[in-house]
Structure 1
Amino acid sequence: MRLYLLALNPTDSVTEGFLPAAERLGIEVTVLTDQPNSYSGTEVLACDVRDFRAVVSRISGHHRPDGIFTNSDHLQVQAALAASYFGLPGKDWRAALRCKDKAEMRRWLGDGVWSAEISAPVALDAPYPCVLKPREGVASEDVVLVDGPEELAARSEEILVRRPGSVLVVEEYLPGELYTLETLGDGRVRHVLGGFHTEVSDPPGFVEERMTFVPAHPEPVLKQVLAQLDALGVGFGICHTEFVVHEGRARLIEVNYRAIGDQCDLLLARLLGVPLFEHVLQVHLGTALPAGLGARRDGAALVEYPCADRAGTLVAAPEAADLDVDGVHLTYRPLRQPGSTHPLYRTNRDYLGVLRATGTDQATVDRVSAEFLARQRWEIQP
């Protein structure tokens, strides 16, 4: 069977998750990408993947597709439209659009959250504090808390200089604890894989610094989140949903209609003990999910991201490591190499590395992870 995988820049989810899973399944993969020199080990075709018409044309002129898939936030609509064109299993392109467009998500949900769209610096009469963010942004890039009209105008001008022609969303700040929900469906059955409790940096930014696994959210919270996903039309393939809970009410922050990233999906597959990436690909090839995934339910885990706190050159950093300590499996992977120079982004591009820890007791997982990180050294010089 042949699967077309739409991609932009390489990610761990694709290179360590989906491509190895396809190889284990014996699936022939053709990568369509606008960065063909960034991929190797499989067939790669250059394509303007942001244009669904170019995707359809490139596939039509090549081998017959059995499935079309992407794990990119930016390409879900294109992949869905291409799958529909060829009569293949896929997401509803309208649902993919509602998830990608944060303003459209709010309008469609009608959840009472105040929001507005702006395309020029402006001082709005809004319920401050507000969150300012790109309408179609990802990874906390240019997401900032603003306290008043003057700050909104100043911050929006800064962002629009970096993102000319973009549309920004201003919406009321939603208080509460931040969580995620990870789901996998085939349009008929939907499995809840669990979620994470997310700890973010201090305002004004929202950099995700630590993710602690939550095996099961309280039933009333879960029902609220799933109802909102149903309203958006989300139910096919894997989905990563971010939401806050305040006084028992769950409200969506954003819906990423793909696998959770930053190596949390790699951790999730290990923690649950299921072929997660294989299941996702098989769904896009038309295979129904089993009634039960057989996932382990005794796991505890966290993912932690040491972050740069200043601009400069990284001159010292720990190497990759895999360790087993007191029943906890630790996987550390560097995300920057010594000698690299970066500004301070105040996004996840400030990550120096990622630590994944899995075990069966959360207190032990937390302790072992803290002890490991305390022994490491990162040094940044101006």
Structure 2
Amino acid sequence: MFENNQAGQIYLLALNPTDSVTEGFLPAARRLGLTVTVLTDQPEAHRDRSPDVEVLECDIRDFHAVITRISTHRTPNAVFSNSDHLQTQTALAAEYFGLPAKSWRAALRTKDKAEMRRHLAAGGADTVRSVELAAGQDPATLSCLDVPFPCVVKPREGVASEDVIRVDDAATLEQRCKEIQSRRPGAALVVEEFLGGELHTLETLGDGRRLHVLGGFHTELSPPPYFIEERLTFVPEHPGPVVAQVLAQLDALGVGFGACHTEFVVEAGRARIIEVNYRAIGDQCDLLLAELLGVPLFEHILRTHLGQPLPADLEARTDVAARLDYPCADREGTLTAAPAAVDLTVGDVRLTYRPVRAIGERQPLHHTNRDFLGIVRAIGTDQESVDRAVADFLAGQCWEITP
């Protein structure tokens, strides 16, 4: 229950409904005895997914509109969001009401990939060669700038590897930038040097005074030029020097409150941040993390936003192995056959499959996680058993896409 045994009011800002919200944070808020109000620009979608939750329409990308909506409703005890797009607005609104919150400056630095690079470089934490292409700016101007090759072009404030592409020469770079601009006419782009090495994540949880490292994942990606996450394997503990380097860069950015999901590569012992998502990891990794660690992860995250300190020891399990796989569409078309949701026990492995796309749904090929057909997550006591259970399950399934 809420610490003072009185019902607390939490405002949760969201765009589209996500598993993190509907299966993670909303049930956790109920267990904490909180009254929840969802503020969103997609109210009907949230009412369909969570009919027992109060949902109010709001222009949530505008922090002034958020403040007005809250101040004309019930007095808040917490303002929270797990959306990449809404961390700055949420932090500003919470600060306005005098509530515990992330630094809005840190939220902006982590969301704006160009500003993140500038800030890390200015503080001497890390320097990645990069240039920024303003919204509407002619990509031909990049030929006059010091663009390294190979490089990666991506939206300055994008998410989920959408329109993130590796490029190896100037002509292709100009072409790719024009393609992204046609899809996102109002978006600024970042072009930065390609950082080699294996991709990993670090998951952290802090209350502003104490920071817990929850482990991370090793991420396997699709072949270039795209960066689709196809498999994540849980890593209970990254090497100490690597963790120290990543935490130093997060500290330079001002990150340390609530949940944070950081992607980084390691090359010759040097940890280089790819991006910082100042919220809990998504795509059901957070659901898996809570289950495998055996801790009330979503409750802990909400408690930090209520001003409650985290325990010195989360008492998280370390004797576990886990993996997530994301079967992906390889062409555009209509999904005409696919497995249904299932929960299985294979030896000591607990395996869960959830479809992402419905049979009969037609979609183009996005080259992002929007191509996911389903999500397989598995937890066990040793990696070999987990890997075998997932491989056997996938081998027995069929997804059919009709052009």
Q: TM-score, normalised by structure 2?
A: 0.94
Counterpart residue number, 1:118: 133
| AA of the residue aligned to 2:39 | L
Instruction: Identify the match of residue 52 of structure 1 among 63, 69, 77.
Output: 63
Give the C-alpha shift of residue 127 in structure 1: 1.4
Paired position in structure 2 for 1:107: 118
Q: How far apart, CA to CA, are the structure 2 residues paired with 1:113 and 1:279?
A: 34
Provide the secondary structure at the position in 1 that maps to 2:335: strand
- Aligned match of 2:87: 76
Partner of 2:192: 171
Q: 2:287 corresponds to which residue? A: 266
- Percent identical: 69
Following the alignment from structure 1 to structure 2, what is the Cα–Cα distance between the partners of residues 37 and 343?
25
C-alpha displacement of 1:24:
1.1
**1:359 deviation in Å?**
0.5
Matching residue of 2:154 = 133
- Give, in whole Å, the separation in 1 of the partners of 2:54 and 2:340: 31
> Are residue 26 (structure 1) and residue 37 (structure 2) matched?
no
Return the letter of the residue paired with 2:248.
Answer: A
Superposed CA deviations along residues 280-304 of structure 1, whole A, max 9, x for unmatched, are: 0111011110001111110100000
- Following the alignment from structure 1 to structure 2, what is the Cα–Cα distance between the partners of residues 262 and 217? 21
5+ long unaligned stretches in structure 2: 1-7
Q: Which residue of 1 aligns with 2:257?
A: 236
2:82 is the alignment partner of 1:66: no
Structure 1 residue aligned with 2:5: none
Task: State the Cα distance separating 1:156 from its structure 2 match.
Answer: 0.3
One-letter identity of the residue aligned with 1:24: R
CA RMSD of aligned residues (A): 0.7
Superposed CA offset, 1:145-204 (max 9, x none): 011111010000000000012100000000001000000000011100000000000000
CA shift for structure 1 position 39: 1.4
Instruction: Within 5 Å, give how 1:250-265 maps onto structure 2.
Output: 250-265=271-286
Instruction: Name the CA distance, whole Å, in 2 between partners of 1:58 and 1:165.
Output: 27
Q: Distance in 2 between matches of 1:15 and 1:53?
A: 26
How far apart are the structure 2 equivalents of 1:157 and 1:357? Answer: 41
CA distance in 1, matches of 2:111, 2:279: 11
Partner of 1:348: 369
Equivalent-residue separation in structure 2 for 1:292 and 1:135 (angstroms) = 37
Give yes or no for the alignment of 1:312 onto 2:333: yes
Q: Which residue of 1 aligns with 2:9?
A: 2
Amino acid in structure 2 at the alignment position of 1:38 = A
**In structure 2, how many angstroms separate the alpha carbons of the residues matched to 1:346 and 1:161?**
16
From 26, 32, 38, the equivalent of 2:45 is: 38
What amino acid sits opposite 1:52 in the alignment? F
Instruction: State how 1:229-378 maps to structure 2 within 5 Å.
Output: 229-378=250-399
State the alpha-carbon separation in 2 of the partners of residues 285 and 29 from structure 1: 13
- Which ranges in structure 1 are unaligned for 5 or more consecutive residues? none
- Tell me the distance in 2 between the aligned counterparts of 1:43 and 1:334: 27
Give CA-to-partner distance per residue, 1:329-354, whole Å, 9 cap, x none: 00000001111111111100000000
Q: For the residues of structure 2 that align with 1:298 and 1:231, how far apart are their CA atoms?
A: 32
Runs of 4+ in 1 over 4 A off after TM superposition: none
Letter in 1 for 2:328: C
Distance in 1 between residues matched to 2:231 and 2:156, nearest whole Å: 25
Equivalent runs, 1:92-241 vs 2, <5 Å = 92-110=103-121, 111-119=126-134, 120=137, 121-122=139-140, 123-124=142-143, 125-241=146-262
Aligned to 2:4: none
C-alpha offsets along residues 57-90 of structure 1, whole Å, 9 cap, x if unaligned? 1100010000000000000000000010000000
Following TM superposition, by how much is the alpha carbon of 1:231 offset from its aligned partner in structure 2, in angstroms? Answer: 0.2
Equivalent position amino acid for 1:64 in 2: T
What SS does the corresponding residue of 2:90 show, helix, strand or coil? helix
Give the drift of 1:112.
1.9
SS of 2:21's partner is: helix
CA distance, structure 2, for counterparts of residue 205 and residue 115 of structure 1: 19
- For residues 46 and 401 of structure 2, the distance between their equivalents in structure 1, rounded to whole angstroms, comes to 30
Deviations 1:103-156 (A, max 9, x none): 000000012210000133224342101000000000000000011111010000
In the aligned structure 2, how far is the partner of 1:224 from the partner of 1:300? 25
Number of equivalences: 382
- Once the 2 structures are TM-superposed, how far is the Cα of residue 102 of structure 1 from its aligned partner? 0.2
